Amino acid sequence: MGTENDTRISEFLLLGFSEDPEQQPLIFGLFLPMYLVTVLGNLLIIVATISDSHLHTPMYFFLSNLSFVDMCFTSTTIPKMLVNIQTQSKVIGYKSCITQMHFFLLFSVVDIFLLTIMAYDRFVAICHPLHYTVIMKPWFCVWLVLVSWVVSMSHALLQSLMMLRLSFCTDLEIPHFFCELNQVVHRACSDTFLNDVVIYFATVLLAGCPVAGILYSYSKIVSSIRAISSAQGKYKAFSTCASHLSVVSLFYGTGLGVYLSSAVTQNSHSTATASVMYTVVTPMLNPFIYSLRNKDIKRALRRLCEKEKLKASVVLSLKKCP
């Protein structure tokens, strides 16, 4: 590939977690179940919220959207990694790399916006309960989600177009298990100053502003909960946002951990391993957090199971009929 520029580059090499061939089956055996659990768990949340009319509320509308995005978020990276392990190939095409990076950015930013919207939803529910139905109208909820998608798509498109202006020489090995934006940019042999500036400002706007919104919402929520006189009332108010707070802490905590680990260590494989926490582990745990902590989701899942059992028994009885 020599000194060809990015218009002629046909592929990159994803080095993954380890270059040791003996560790590849172990990595495959670890990530395949994690990916399947992530997809099935989030799919169950979506089906439960759609099938149960009691869950047709703003909070569960946002939750089903979050579950869908989490499935897509994980699916942009893990299937390709599993295929590469199975085929014993580290290659990813140039166009495939840009596409993967585009969708990874898209779903990650939508994820951030949805968590922020859900914090606002809890803020309205706890701090302004009498005005909740007036503020969180169905059209407004749909509008919030649509705006999240439009902004995220615009950002992903901008970063993808910025990537196309770069030239790549001989350093085409990406020390990661997917085409991560910073890693790909720093493989370029042309000037990346403009790309770095765009990445910096996008990070401040699309990550910093939502964090500020979440912190503001929860500061108001805590103040409102402290003003409640009864202990039972405080517990009931806090329980409505406990699941969301757990998910937010997990997502941002692991993201911050990856950032700090990449700043402290120069080992790229360590950074890739740390990235697993927010790219795979967090989307996998979200359904468990919401189902274990949420009585409404548990009830909906039980009803869904009972409905499926009833259908199965009816089909079985019909088969027995002459």
3-state SS of 199-222 is: HHHHHHHHHHHHHHHHHHHHHHHH
Alpha carbon distance 68, 46 (integer Å): 7
The pLDDT of residue 261 is: 63
Q: What is the pLDDT averaged over residues 284-292? A: 84
Say what the pTM is: 0.89
The pLDDT of residue 322 is: 56
The larger pLDDT score, comparing residue 51 to residue 215, is at: 215
Mean pLDDT score of the chain: 86
The pLDDT of residue 4 is: 43
The pLDDT of residue 53 is: 84
The pLDDT of residue 126 is: 92
Cα 279–chain centre separation: 7
The pLDDT of residue 2 is: 42
Least confident among 41-45, 258-262, 273-277 = 258-262
Q: What is the pLDDT averaged over residues 116-123? A: 95
Picking from 146, 135, 145, the residue whose alpha carbon sits closest to that of residue 62 is 145
195, two tokens: 């790309």
Whether residue 160 is predicted with pLDDT greater than 60 in this model: the reply is yes
The pLDDT of residue 170 is: 74
Whether residue 210 is predicted with pLDDT greater than 60 in this model: the reply is yes
Question: Most confidently modeled of 134-148, 227-241, 244-258, 262-276?
Answer: 134-148
Whether residue 5 is predicted with pLDDT greater than 50 in this model: the reply is no
The pLDDT of residue 231 is: 82
The pLDDT of residue 69 is: 96
281, two tokens: 């582990």
Whether residue 185 is predicted with pLDDT greater than 80 in this model: the reply is yes
**How, if at all, do strands 91-93 and 11-14 pair?**
antiparallel
